[in-house]
């Protein structure tokens, strides 16, 4: 598949109609639509698919309350788009959190109504399987109600190498210790050329998928992600989707697909390319049309902004991801969008949908169908601003943040 596919023989309207009716489209057709379909028609087709998939609850859009816990920024992998990591020899910039600190953050999450922990950090040269076993077991022992939705294939590859065990053993052990599902981190761009350009020390895209497939086979589901805007072509974006769709045909283990946009500050790519909001919305729509085997398409508005997040609900997204109690990774690269629970609820309502707080596995915890019963947020906000910044790295004004 190339960028120079034949424009003349392609009937955009006919393919859009087929896709909107639920027929599977080819990668070549997806590329044509992504590049050439009128934006409103693309969004309308994707929304038709979403409404049919959620018939009966199509008026609802979901969000989750979670906390990112960044356990270390020390990392040997040195991805060029990353503004978060510190090389192991950079003692001034590098930090790690101890277990007590992590447990305190979990306690705050529970207190604030959070249901999910996203354990996220660098590839620390000393952290093998044992490190994650110890931490996940300790979190589950104290907070069995918290879902640990964390890590991804890159961390599994790294910890297995450090502990000199197979990825099967690594996955099995951390799952038994308490990991519930993988967050799909590290997918970045899966095709070889753009992946090598931005993350030359990461495992290949094929290997990333192989590890996810192994996890799905062992009963550990995941989400899938995509980093847009680091210089990849349109064809490479569609190839990324194809690679995920092919694995999903075999495993069914990807719960969601979450594209997000590259943030340009404080990293080695120096912002030389970025995805536009229109490209992002087109991606949300094409993901809904092309990835017919993935149930949830998530709008990510930490990186694109609230208006784009709101628009994504009209381009095929059914979920706006999380109100995060803490986030330090994409924020370090310049993502400046902040929000709180009331604002997310309001934003979803203004998009013409009924907001619902969900679990990690997308069950509705509370449907906000009556504004008179909306949660009062002041306690949450004041609690966060007085306690959550201790030991934090990037946000002296830390409030509830919103992201994927």
Q: Closest approach of Cβ 329 to ligand SF4, in Å?
A: 7
Strands 60-70 and 116-120: parallel
206 annotated binding-site participant: no
Stretch that binds ligand SF4, among 21-29, 70-78, 206-214, 249-257 (CB under 6 A): 70-78
The alpha carbon of residue 338 and the mean position of all alpha carbons in its chain are separated, in whole angstroms, by 17
Closest by CA to 34, choosing from 230, 228, 255, is: 228
Answer whether 290's CB lies under 8 Å from 234's CB. Answer: no
What is each CA distance from 64 to 79, 117, 270, in whole angstroms? 28, 11, 32
Q: Closest approach of Cβ 154 to ligand SF4, in Å?
A: 6
DSSP labels, 292-305: TT--EEB--HHHH-
Site map 102..131 versus ligand SF4, x via CB under 6 A: --------------------xx--------
Stretch that binds ligand SF4, among 42-50, 82-90, 243-251, 370-378 (CB under 6 A): 82-90
278 annotated binding-site participant: no
195 part of the interface to ligand SF4, by CB under 6 A: no
82 annotated binding-site participant: yes
Q: How many CB atoms lie within 10 A of CB 326?
A: 25
44 annotated binding-site participant: no
| Dihedral over alpha carbons 203, 205, 208, 213 (to 10 degrees) | -150
User: For residues 115 and 120, what is the distance between their CA atoms, to the nearest angstrom?
Assistant: 16
Under DSSP, is residue 78 helix (H, G, I), strand (E, B) or coil? Answer: coil
Contacts of 93 (CB under 8 A, 6+ apart): 73, 86
Closest by CA to 263, choosing from 163, 166, 72, 404, is: 404
User: For residues 276 and 171, what is the distance between their CA atoms, to the nearest angstrom?
Assistant: 36
Is the CB of 268 or the CB of 364 nearer to ligand SF4?
Answer: 268
Is the CB of 70 or the CB of 339 nearer to ligand SF4?
Answer: 70
Is the CB of 202 or the CB of 306 nearer to ligand SF4?
Answer: 202
85 part of the interface to ligand SF4, by CB under 6 A: yes
Count, residues near ligand SF4 per rule CB under 6 A: 10
Instruction: Report 130-189 residues binding ligand SF4 (CB under 6 A).
Output: 154
Rule CB under 6 A: choose which of 12, 78, 277, 389 binds ligand SF4. Answer: 78
Rule CB under 6 A: choose which of 84, 136, 290, 301 binds ligand SF4. Answer: 84
Q: Which residues are annotated as a binding site?
A: 75, 79, 81-82, 188, 300, 322
Q: Which residues are annotated as a binding site for S-adenosyl-L-methionine?
A: 81, 188
- Binding residues for ligand SF4 (CB under 6 A): 75, 77-79, 82, 84-85, 122-123, 154
């Amino acid at each position: 598949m190339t960028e120079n596919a034949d424009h003349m023989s392609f009937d955009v309207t006919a393919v859009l109609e087929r896709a909107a009716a639920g027929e599977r489209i080819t990668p070549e057709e997806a590329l044509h639509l992504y590049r050439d379909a009128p934006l409103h028609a693309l969004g309308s087709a994707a929304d038709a698919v979403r409404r049919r998939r959620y018939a009966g609850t199509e008026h609802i859009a979901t969000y989750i309350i979670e906390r990112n816990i960044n356990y270390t920024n020390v990392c040997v992998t040195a991805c060029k788009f990353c503004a978060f990591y510190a090389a192991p020899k950079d003692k001034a910039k590098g930090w790690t959190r101890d277990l007590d600190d992590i447990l305190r953050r979990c306690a705050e999450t529970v207190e604030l109504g959070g249901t999910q922990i996203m354990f996220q950090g660098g590839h620390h040269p000393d952290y093998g399987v044992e490190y994650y076993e110890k931490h996940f077991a300790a979190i589950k022992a104290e907070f069995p109600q918290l879902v640990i939705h964390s890590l991804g294939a890159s961390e599994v590859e790294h910890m297995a190498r450090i502990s000199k065990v197979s990825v099967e053993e690594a996955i099995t052990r951390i799952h038994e210790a308490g990991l519930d599902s993988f967050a799909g981190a590290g997918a970045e761009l899966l095709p070889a050329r753009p992946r090598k350009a931005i993350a030359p020390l990461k495992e290949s895209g094929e290997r990333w998928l192989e590890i996810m497939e192994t996890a799905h086979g062992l009963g550990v589901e995941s989400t899938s992600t995509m980093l847009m805007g680091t210089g990849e072509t349109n064809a490479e974006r569609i190839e990324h989707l194809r690679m995920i769709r092919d694995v999903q045909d075999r495993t069914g283990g990807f719960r969601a697909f979450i594209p997000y946009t590259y943030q340009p500050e404080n990293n080695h790519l120096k912002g030389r390319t970025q995805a536009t909001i229109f490209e992002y919305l087109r991606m949300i729509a094409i993901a809904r049309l092309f990835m017919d085997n993935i149930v949830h398409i998530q709008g990510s508005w930490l990186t694109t902004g609230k208006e784009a997040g709101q628009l994504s609900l009209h381009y095929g997204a059914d979920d706006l991801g999380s109100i995060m109690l803490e986030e330090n990774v994409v924020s370090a690269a310049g993502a400046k969008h902040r929000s709180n629970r009331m604002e997310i609820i309001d934003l979803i309502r203004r998009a013409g949908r009924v907001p619902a707080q969900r679990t990690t596995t997308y069950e509705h915890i509370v449907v906000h169908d009556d504004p008179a019963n909306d949660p009062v947020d002041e306690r949450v906000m004041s609690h966060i601003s007085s306690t959550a910044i201790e030991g934090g790295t990037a946000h002296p004004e830390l409030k509830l943040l919103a992201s994927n």
